[in-house]
Structure 1
Amino acid sequence: MLKDIIEVKPLENYQLYLKFEDNKEGIIDISKIIEFIGIFTPLKDLNYFQTVKLNPEWGTIYWDNGADLDPDVLYSAITKQSLPQFSSYVYQ
C-alpha cells in the first residue's frame, strides 16, 4: 500500500481524522487498534493524545514521546482493505 498520511486532526476521545496522499480519508478510533501500554501509555491522557503530529518525511503520525503508527495499518483500517500480514485483524 505505502500511502502517506498528509493530514491529521484530533477529534473527540481517541478519534483521529486522517487523509492520505491518494485523497482517501476517514475517522479512526485509535483506542480500537492499540493498547495503552509501553510507548503508548501516555496517549491514554486525552490532552496528550490531542498533541498528535504529522511527520511528512515518514508519511505517518507521531507523538513527542516517540510513539508512532504504521501508515499502512491506518490506511487499511480507513479503507477497509486487509493487509496480508494482519489477516486476523478485525475492523470495527
Structure 2
Amino acid sequence: MRITSVYPIRTFKLIMELDEKEYRILNEEDLGLLAEIRDTVSFIITAKVDPVAGTVGWANGVDIDTIVLYYNSLDLEELLKKS
C-alpha cells in the first residue's frame, strides 16, 4: 500500500489517495502529531508525498508510516455515503 497523492486542507485534515484508487481522510489533530505540524496551518500545507517511501512527509523532514496513516484515517467514500 502506497500513498500516491496528498491534499492538505487548512482545517487540519489530509485527503490521501492510495495506489488502489482509494481515498482516505485524516484528521491530523486526532493523530497526535508533533505540535509543530498539528497546530500550524502554514506547516500543515507543506505535506507532500515521499515518492520513494510512498508515505506523507512535511517540510521539517517528519514522515509517518503509511500503515499508521491508513488505520488512523477514514474512507472518504464511506463518509460521503453517510452524509
Q: TM-score range by the shorter chain?
A: 0.7 to 0.9
Pairing 1:30–2:24 present: no
TM-score by length of 2: 0.77
Deviation at 1:67, TM superposition (A): 1.1
Q: Structure 1 or 2: larger strand share?
A: 2
Alpha-carbon shift at residue 79 of structure 1 (Å):
5.5
Which segments of 5 or more consecutive residues in structure 2 lack a partner in the other structure? 76-83
TM-score (norm 1): 0.71
The match for 2:35 is 41
Q: Report if the CA contact (8 A) 1:60-1:71 is conserved.
A: yes
1:76 aligns with 2:71: yes
| % identity of equivalent residues | 24
| Contact 1:14/1:30 (8 A) holds in 2 | yes
RMSD: 1.7
